[in-house]
Amino acid sequence: GENVEQHPSTLSVQEGDSAVIKCTYSDSASNYFPWYKQELGKRPQLIIDIRSNVGEKKDQRIAVTLNKTAKHFSLHITETQPEDSAVYFCAAPMNSGYSTLTFGKGTMLLVSP
Amino acid sequence: NAGVTQTPKFQVLKTGQSMTLQCAQDMNHNSMYWYRQDPGMGLRLIYYSASEGTTDKGEVPNGYNVSRLNKREFSLRLESAAPSQTSVYFCASRASGIEQFFGPGTRLTVL
């Protein structure tokens, strides 16, 4: 099965700075990598994902990059705002296909005003 | 649409008691999932149901049972609760696409 490692476990930045969260995966056949955001006391929600046929995907202030050779992918948040404070989870397919996901252990991002 | 709903929101049990966590979705999704979330451990899959009438074990199934009652409902049962099962439980569903939609969670404490 897939193994996903996520770093760092906590990240503190000043408002306006950039934040980068990195994940590595073990199964070279994995081809879909979503990122979920979980605000305090709320449910996880998908914020962006990337498939293995592209190297980068952007959506306003967030972007995800994928390096298939090195088996790692990263979430980039630019111009951080206090409302970006949350726990972020990366994930990868647990087995072939998309039916189940293995999640990283999460990164708590704190953006200070 | 209510999306994915879970009941109860909070529950306190004593060791050895049993209970069932309920999950329902109104999005006509085929697949449903149960996860547990513990501090520093991320989301771990307990059981899932790829379609009505089928269920499969995930990473941490011991101590749990599930029932896919119909396409809308997927319940999680703890037959004899243990303190190690203290956690936040999330249900999720997925259509034919990739994105999983999560419910609001159930916070369970086992004393």
pLDDT tens readout for residues B1-31: 789 999 999 999 999 999 999 999 999 999 9
Q: Are A88 and A107 in contact (CB under 8 A)?
A: yes
pLDDT at A97: 64
Measured CA to CA, the distance from residue A108 to residue B78 in angstroms comes to: 30
Q: Give the closest-approach CA distance of A23 to chain B in angstroms.
A: 13
The count of other CB atoms within 10 Å of the CB of residue B81 is 21
**Residues of chain A positioned with their CB less than 8 A from the CB of B100:** 46, 101
B-chain residue closest to A93, CA distance: B98
pLDDT(A99) > 70: yes
Asked if the Cβ–Cβ distance from A89 to B104 is below 8 Å, we say: no
Mean pLDDT value of segment A75-94: 96
**Residues of chain B positioned with their CB less than 8 A from the CB of A44:** 43, 90, 102
Residues in chain B, pLDDT under 50: none
Nearest to B40 among A89, A99, A105 (CB): A105
Asked if the Cβ–Cβ distance from A44 to B33 is below 8 Å, we say: no
**How buried is B88 (Cβ within 10 angstroms: 0-12 exposed, 13-18 middle, 19+ buried)?**
middle
A-chain residue closest to B89, CA distance: A43
pLDDT(A41) > 90: yes
Measured CA to CA, the distance from residue A81 to residue A71 in angstroms comes to: 29
Measured CA to CA, the distance from residue A30 to residue A3 in angstroms comes to: 11
Round the average pLDDT of chain A to a whole number and report it: 94
Q: Are A1 and A91 in contact (CB under 8 A)?
A: no
Mean pLDDT value of segment A61-86: 96
pLDDT at A5: 96
Asked if the Cβ–Cβ distance from B42 to A99 is below 8 Å, we say: no
